[in-house]
Structure 1
Amino acid sequence: MDYDAIIIGAGACGLMCAVQAGFLGKKVIVLEKSDKAGAKILISGGGRCNYTNIGATYEQFISANEHFVKSAFKQWTVEDTINFFETYGIYGAEKTLGQLFPDGKNAKDVVEVFTSLCEEMEQQIVCNAEVVSIENEEESYQVKYQINGKTKTLAAPKLVIATGGLPIPKMGATDFALKFARKHQLNIIETAPALVPLTITGKDEDWFAQLSGNSVFCRVSNEDMSFEENILFTHWGLSGPAILQISSYWRRGQEIEIDLLPNENIIELLTVDRQQNGRIHLSTLLNRFYTKKFTDALGKFLPLTKTIADLTKTEMEQLEQTIHHFKVKPAGDKGYDKAEVMRGGIDTNELSSKTLESKKLPGCYFGGECVDVTGWLGGYNFQWAWASGFVIAQNL
């Protein structure tokens, strides 16, 4: 056994784990199914890579055990992420809501940090390596993999599963971690696409489709959570940051509520205008806040051609409901092809929160997206990947 550990998956968690293990003088080998390391990092943020969020705490993560990530985030903080990347020439430029992107650099530079360090420390990354079997024998893990039509076998006392989740199968995403966990009787929290656009079908489909391309700043809520960001109307439903965020909390069959003017009160605005010029049409009032196309579409629900002085009590109630309590019942979501992450995964009760080692499989660790830890949009999932990779490395 030439290696202290075999890491399966050269994504954010696996790469951080390999580098941190190298800093500790541990020798690892990383097996990656696709033809390059960090494939999902490379496409993140449209190739710009939102690599952390300065406001990340355990509160922005969805898990059956909301406290599980606390230990990892104490061991590897946002400050640690920032310092790590700054050491290798990547400085953060803060965008909206605490998101950090590489200043003047991109996702390729982020991946390059890890691949260069691995090369420097002789931590081997083997791409196009498809793992076909893993056996646990006599305190070692025997990993059989295929590369260029040949089957090879490795053995090491420790095993790290960092193969990610199910989103973006065309990038090589598989259910490898989930299958391996099930084989060893580890519980799985039900999985589903998260940070994913929502679809609208049926009688409302055409109304949403006609607004395709329109973006509106809104508050989107369900009974669990609310987010204030833009929503984007599409020819098949709804997307944009606020929709992606709420999708992680949405379940099929549920309604979501949209406040189309979250920082104003439409009735108060109307009352003021009535006193100053009650002869303006309702459409004129709404055009202050929305595109003409969007205002016109609201004509399905509102008497746009009436003057605001002539609106009845019932019509004003309808205006308030439409603008501040717009109800939508999505038919579904766009699936793993369009999802940014997976919700659910390996039950955190199966792992030590301090080390991320499996309780049933000594010497086997799980990190990153395959674990039941799902962050909000905006760099949070990368922070979990870096932290989990670091924690595992300390315990190899």
Structure 2
Amino acid sequence: MYDALIIGAGACGLMCAVQAGFLGKRVLLLEKNAQPGAKILISGGGRCNYTNLNTSPANFISGNEHFCKSAFSQWTVNDTITFFETYGIYGKEKTLGQLFPATDKAKDIVNVFISLCTDFGQEIRCNADVMEVKKEDDSFVVSYQSEGRIVSVRAPRLVLTTGGLPVRKLGASDFALKTAQQFGLRIAKTAPALVPLTVTGKDAEWFAHLSGNSIFCRVSNEQISFEENILFTHWGLSGPAILQISSYWKPGEWIDIDLLPDRKISSLIETERNQNGKKMFLTLLSSVFPRKFAEALGKYLPVDKNLASLNKSDLAQIETQIHHFRIKPAGDKGYDRAEVMRGGVATEELSSKTLEARKVPGLFFGGECVDVTGWLGGYNFQWAWASGFVIACNI
């Protein structure tokens, strides 16, 4: 009855089903949740930043930096924009190339797919908890539980688009990874990505005291840097810059924060001191940072001195703390607070052109369960759409 079975009705699975419909192929889409597109609906605060205008392979972490190039050449950002515009979703650009629906409603994105699946006769079965996957001769047999009974279906192609481990309440699981291992495929080490970082020990109280304060910074490690806001929390740091750097951070490593990336604190001090040496250093800090944060810097800086009395040692200390504020996070907030999963089905196990498993003809993996992890801001959706399209062309 079906050309392919797709397990997981998220971004990649829905796009795969729709694109298969355009090509005259009939698929069955099995979804564990009560409705399709659960993660789409909560993304971007319920607004869904569905792509990023700046997408390139450089915005992705993978065991093979070239792996995603083929998919992105087959389905581009312009293809995403055109696809959604065709069905009434017009984008508006926000920070750093992020594209959101003009309506600010993620459900409009999901509704496009549901409507198209209906038009093409693609079947979506929700509340379908897959129990077993096996291969018999030239077919894949999938057994799932629904409404208290076990149902078995078969097709010559099987597509795994069940996502990763983040957000357990949305049904996140390691199903795709276990299935890949079942068929002898290697899994690249997984970890939470785009995730807040925790601070413990003697500095924990200082960070907690600043909870709710947001500062524009440059956050760096030995691999990369990001200029966006950081957010102080009761348990450490969050905000876009921290989420970005978390994908490149490993336990035990330091992170360097430039608290004033667009100006030099030494130049500000010199200029202000020439005008009014009696001005307190705290007053100067309060002109460039929120007052509460400026006062908190008193733990590290001579905020009770006026500018004229700052000596060379003071200036060196200020330069270091403002432009090279270093932290060693204790850990991260785990999968339930992570946006995505890093790692997944190893890229060498899949054809970059088709996303078919090299060892298992007819078995495909797409979206987050593959070892391709994008930056914050719509990049992971672009990978989901592109990988869904590529698979649809080859099932």
TM range (shorter): over 0.9
TM-score for the superposition, normalised by structure 2: 0.99
SS in 2 for 1:359: coil
Matched, 1:231 2:221: no
Q: Determine the C-alpha separation between the residues in 2 that align with 1:53 and 1:70.
A: 16
Q: Determine the C-alpha separation between the residues in 1 that align with 2:162 and 2:290.
A: 44
Q: Determine the C-alpha separation between the residues in 2 that align with 1:328 and 1:105.
A: 36
**Alpha-carbon offset, residue 105 of structure 1:** 4.2
SS in 2 for 1:287: helix
Matched, 1:62 2:61: yes
Q: Determine the C-alpha separation between the residues in 2 that align with 1:48 and 1:326.
A: 34
Q: Determine the C-alpha separation between the residues in 2 that align with 1:373 and 1:106.
A: 27
The amino acid of 1:69's aligned partner reads C
Quick one: percent identity of the two aligned structures?
Answer: 67
SS in 2 for 1:267: helix
The amino acid of 1:117's aligned partner reads L
Aligned equivalent of 2:247: 248
Question: Given the superposition, is the C-alpha separation of residues 136 and 65 from structure 1 closer, same or farther in structure 2, using an over 3 Å criterion?
Answer: same
Q: Which has the larger displacement, 270-279 or 251-260?
A: 270-279
- Checking the alignment, whether the CA contact within 8 Å between 1:196 and 1:244 is kept in structure 2 is yes
Aligned equivalent of 1:176: 175
Q: How do residues 1-396 of structure 1 correspond to structure 2 at under 5 angstroms?
A: 2-396=1-395
- Checking the alignment, whether the CA contact within 8 Å between 1:90 and 1:105 is kept in structure 2 is no
**Alpha-carbon offset, residue 378 of structure 1:** 0.3
Q: Determine the C-alpha separation between the residues in 2 that align with 1:345 and 1:221.
A: 25
Question: Given the superposition, is the C-alpha separation of residues 105 and 325 from structure 1 closer, same or farther in structure 2, using an over 3 Å criterion?
Answer: closer
**Alpha-carbon offset, residue 376 of structure 1:** 0.2
Q: Determine the C-alpha separation between the residues in 2 that align with 1:105 and 1:310.
A: 52
Q: Determine the C-alpha separation between the residues in 1 that align with 2:288 and 2:145.
A: 58
Q: Which has the larger displacement, 13-22 or 133-142?
A: 133-142
What do the CA deviations read for 1:257-300 (whole angstroms, capped 9, x no partner)? 10000000000111111222111111011111111110110000
Q: Determine the C-alpha separation between the residues in 1 that align with 2:43 and 2:4.
A: 28
| 4+ residue segments displaced more than 6 Å | none
Q: Determine the C-alpha separation between the residues in 1 that align with 2:191 and 2:210.
A: 28
SS in 1 for 2:25: coil
What do the CA deviations read for 1:150-204 (whole angstroms, capped 9, x no partner)? 1111110000000000000111000001111112221111000000000000100
**Alpha-carbon offset, residue 309 of structure 1:** 1.0
SS in 2 for 1:275: helix
Q: Determine the C-alpha separation between the residues in 1 that align with 2:170 and 2:25.
A: 29
- Checking the alignment, whether the CA contact within 8 Å between 1:220 and 1:227 is kept in structure 2 is yes
Q: Determine the C-alpha separation between the residues in 2 that align with 1:11 and 1:395.
A: 19
- Checking the alignment, whether the CA contact within 8 Å between 1:195 and 1:245 is kept in structure 2 is yes
- Checking the alignment, whether the CA contact within 8 Å between 2:48 and 2:104 is kept in structure 1 is no
TM-score for the superposition, normalised by structure 1: 0.99
